[in-house]
Amino acid sequence: MVLRYWYLLRGSPPRLVELVYWPTVQMVIWGFMTLYLHPEGDVMALGFGALLSGVMLWDVCFRGQISLCGAFLEEMYARNLGHLMASPLRPVEFAAALLVTSLLRTLIGLLPTSLLALWFFGFSIYSLGMALIGFFFLLIVMGWAVGLVISGLIMRVGLGAESFAWAAIFAVAPLSGVYYPIATLPEWLRPVALMLPSAHVFEGMRAILTEHRLDLTSMALATGLDLVFLGLGFAAFLAFHASAKARGRLMQMGE
């Protein structure tokens, strides 16, 4: 299945360009915004690097989800799901292939963007050090969990639910503390935010950038929550698949 998505990318330059285009546009806008807010210094100073780091790390979560849903939607658009589900491919293997494809697509999109940020603004996301690898996986796993739920929903109800693929993850962005600490949120909302792995990741990111310390508690909480989220994502995908089979949706793809 991963080969199938590789063939698709290889044969479609617009798809490849799109993977790099949006993260780059985001990075450029926020890079200039950071310069505007702090015109005298470099973007790494006084924690302003947290803005750009936040933008790029949030893109990991967003790209992880959108790439997974995008790969799934390719099967819906191509009316290929029936062929796949009648083959020896198991639904859990299909979901795993979507995860691997999402990882590859996210890396293809974000690696060039991170290098451009270095070139344009002298900003290096790699200044986060080894923690960056942890943040990357913690955020992409959360994106996968959301992506699995939405892909399953689309399989169950059809392309009428497609808009969720493009919009759902933004619902958790305000609670994730991408650009501001969780302490900024109203007190009653903080417990909700702290149920999200992403909230702990961005708290951990700020701890490194502003206090130069690795917050292992945040990392551990994010890891635990991620495991729960991913488990729920797989369970939802499989449940939606079973429901789609019961309702004959796998043979009637469309709205």
Partner 1 sequence: MLAPAEMPALRVDGLGKRYGAVCAVDDLSFALPQGVTMGLLGGNGAGKTTTIGMILGLVTPDCGRIEVLGHDLGRAGRRIRPLINFSSPYADLPHRLTVRENLTVFARLYGLRRPAARIARLARDLDLEGFLDRPSGRLSAGQKTRLALAKALINEPRLLLLDEPTASLDPDTADWVRGLLESYRRRTGATLLLASHNMAEVERLCGEVLVMRQGRIADRGPPQMLISRYGRQTLEEVFLDIARGPAGHGGAS
DSSP 66-77: HHHHHHHHHHHH
Record the tokens describing residue 154, joined without a space. Answer: 């689309």
For partner 1, which is the closer residue by CB, 8 or 107? 8
* 182, 171 Cβ separation under 8 angstroms: no
Q: How far is the CB of 109 from partner 1 (least distance, A)?
A: 19
Return the sign of the alpha-carbon dihedral for residues 49, 122, 64, 70: positive
What is the rounded distance in angstroms from the CA atom of residue 222 to the CA atom of residue 205? 12
Record the tokens describing residue 157, joined without a space. Answer: 């109800």
Piece of 17-25, 181-189, 217-225, 239-247 that binds partner 1 (CB under 8 A) = 239-247
For partner 1, which is the closer residue by CB, 28 or 84? 84
For partner 1, which is the closer residue by CB, 86 or 228? 86
For partner 1, which is the closer residue by CB, 83 or 211? 83
* Residue 184 to residues 171, 178, 227, Cα–Cα distance (Å): 17, 11, 27
Identify residues 22-81 at the interface with partner 1 (CB under 8 A): 74-75, 78-81
The answer to whether residue 13 forms part of the interface with partner 1 (CB under 8 A) is no
For partner 1, which is the closer residue by CB, 12 or 217? 12
Identify residues 79-108 at the interface with partner 1 (CB under 8 A): 79-90
The answer to whether residue 16 forms part of the interface with partner 1 (CB under 8 A) is no
What is the rounded distance in angstroms from the CA atom of residue 60 to the CA atom of residue 87? 32
* 145, 226 Cβ separation under 8 angstroms: yes
Task: Please give the residue ranges that form the binding site for partner 1 (CB under 8 A).
Answer: 1, 3-4, 7-8, 11-12, 74-75, 78-90, 242, 245-248, 250-253
